[in-house]
Amino acid sequence: MSKKYTDSGIEIKEIYEQSSVNGQLLTELPGQFPFTRGIQKDMYRGKLWTMRQYAGFSTAEESNKRYHYLLSKGVMGLSVAFDLPTQIGYDSDHELAEGEVGKVGVAIDSIEDMEQLFAGIELEKVSTSMTINASGFILLALYVALAKKQGADLKKITGTIQNDILKEYAARGTYIYPPKASMRIITDIFEWCSKELPKWNTISISGYHIREAGSTAVQEIAFTLSNGKAYVEAALAKGLDINVFGKRLSFFFNAHNNLFEEVAKFRAARRMWAKMMKDLGATDEKAMMLRFHTQTGGSTLTAQQPLNNIARVTLQTLAAVLGGTQSLHTNGYDEALSLPTEEAAGIALKTQQIVAFESGVVDTVDPLAGSFFIENLTNEVEQKAWDLIKKIDIIGGSVAAIEQGFMQDEIAKSAYDYQRKIETKEKIIVGVNSFESNETYDTPLLKIDDSIRQIQVEKLIQLKSKRDSNKAEQCLESIAIAAKDGSNLMPFVIDAVENKCTLGEIANVLRKEFGEYK
């Protein structure tokens, strides 16, 4: 009989017994350090995970309609996708924005776009996650400015900005500034939010895109936790209190199809982060808890037989829930072909609701705990991840490992190996390399028209003609001065967006001060 392995190369035995767990049986309860079994003692019996749907496309007005639709269907929190120009700090009228405006997310150039994006939505009453990194500080400033305009109490505003630049250098590519300057911006956000926006998650340290780039489950958590350690060390070097900012760190993981390896991955990650934070000096257990959002695996979706993706997303939903996620987005079955249609987004949300209310998996905490297989796999995943983190530490930490291309090379090797297994049929993907069908699927697609750019350009012309241009210039100059003298950038950026400076103008001021990463 041939041997079986997980995608991380962990051998799967035919049968597991108590001796398989190497004597490492669980002694702690859910809600107890190191939180292998979950960060709350009652988990979903007390409160379900937040059901989010990642949405954003075209103009702010069009995305706003989708948000109202999702909220009416039972979504508990919004999750905003931004277009590429917004992600890399260009206004829609920039020459590099041509052909990309509103395509993979919503175009946000100014406070006016932000107002339209959240029209009819009270920010004090909804939790918003924003997938934005290099320009995350500007989007946070826009969100804060809008909350103030709505008369909201900033102490009650909840949500997350992804704000994880290290994985951009390693796996995704939407960076603007060099690593040192980027880390400075991130610690400015930590510092400002700890005083002014205490319930906001200041970073979502992301393994999702590392996995999408082709990493294994083990690499996903090893590289993500190593990046998390780098952010904590940068904040400590700035004199911030780990017991304060540590409570506002969150994580973002991928859920793939290997159900048991994924559950083990989530349990191992919690245990590892708790130990890591304790070693870094945290004494408050809440600062040691790994809280995470999960998104089902975009790279697992197939353009062939797209309805099969509903089953894949269901498996991945189960993995995230059995692994103890705090928040979840489920992908639309059509996302290998286009942005999700309203129908596909609705089915994706219903998938979460069916798991929550019909499957029974939420009725007890950590239902797979004590399984000889799961406990062994959790230990194996943890050990392999620690081995990788030790290699990164020897190089000099995450920033050095990224600068030297270590993470990128490891991910590329895993991606190549995975693709080779598909091509040799060592790994079966239903409908792709086996069980193919000649049927054609008339899947409706969501198409974004190129005319969106002209709409955004006209809005920018109007905005600039109405604003006090002298005041806008003064605001931009203040940002440049703060960048030079080391002052916290956030108050100056908030002042700038309130005075109708655009995202591109603010990003460009810092391009001049910090340079661009090539």
Q: Which residues does 250 contact at the CB level (< 8 Å), separation at least 6?
A: 160, 201, 203, 204, 205, 291, 292, 293, 326
Q: Which two tokens stand for residue 440?
A: 């054609």
What are φ and ψ of residue 99, in 5° steps?
A: 85, -5
What are φ and ψ of residue 412, in 5° steps?
A: -60, -40
Buried b (16+ CB within 10 A) or exposed e, 283-316: eebebbbbbbbbbbbeebbbebbbebbbebbbbb
**What is the pLDDT at residue 23?**
54
Q: How far is residue 132's CA from residue 81's CA, in Å, rounded to a whole number? A: 8
Q: Is 83 left (phi over 0), alpha (psi -120 to 50) or beta?
A: beta
Residues facing 81 on adjacent strands: 131
Strand order in the sheet with 327-329: 200-201, 159-161, 127-131, 77-81, 50-55, 327-329, 292-296, 249-255, 203-206
Q: Do residues 390 and 397 touch, judged by C-beta distance below 8 A?
A: no
Q: Which two tokens stand for residue 1?
A: 């009989």
Q: How far is residue 279's CA from residue 405's CA, in Å, rounded to a whole number? A: 27
Q: How far is residue 425's CA from residue 429's CA, in Å, rounded to a whole number? A: 8
Element (H, E) at 51: strand 50-55
Mean pLDDT by 10 residues, the chain (518 residues): 89 88 73 96 94 83 91 86 96 96 94 97 94 97 98 96 94 93 95 95 94 97 97 94 94 97 98 98 98 96 96 98 96 91 92 97 95 95 98 96 95 96 95 89 75 94 97 98 98 98 98 95
Q: How far is residue 462's CA from residue 464's CA, in Å, rounded to a whole number? A: 6
Q: Do residues 334 and 445 touch, judged by C-beta distance below 8 A?
A: yes
Residue 244's identity, in one-letter code, is V
Q: Which residues does 400 contact at the CB level (< 8 Å), separation at least 6?
A: none
- According to DSSP, the β-strands at 4-5 and 11-12 are antiparallel
**What is the pLDDT at residue 24?**
58
Distances (CA, A) of 63 to 67, 68, 79, 116, 350: 6, 9, 11, 9, 20
Q: How far is residue 419's CA from residue 299's CA, in Å, rounded to a whole number? A: 12
Closest residue by Cα to residue 78 from 134, 119, 138, 137: 119
Q: Do residues 321 and 44 touch, judged by C-beta distance below 8 A?
A: yes
* pTM score, whole prediction: 0.91
Calculated CA dihedral for residues 124, 127, 132, 135, nearest 10 degrees: 10
**What is the pLDDT at residue 1?**
64
What sign for the dihedral angle of Cα 228, 232, 237, 238? positive
Residue with tokens 């994580």: 251
- Within a 10 A sphere around the Cβ of 29, how many other Cβ atoms? 12
DSSP string for residues in 117-156: HTTT--TTTSEEEEE--TTHHHHHHHHHHHHHHTT--GGG
Q: How far is residue 487's CA from residue 499's CA, in Å, rounded to a whole number? A: 20
**What is the pLDDT at residue 97?**
95
Q: Which two tokens stand for residue 510?
A: 């810092």
**What is the pLDDT at residue 441?**
72
**What is the pLDDT at residue 438?**
83
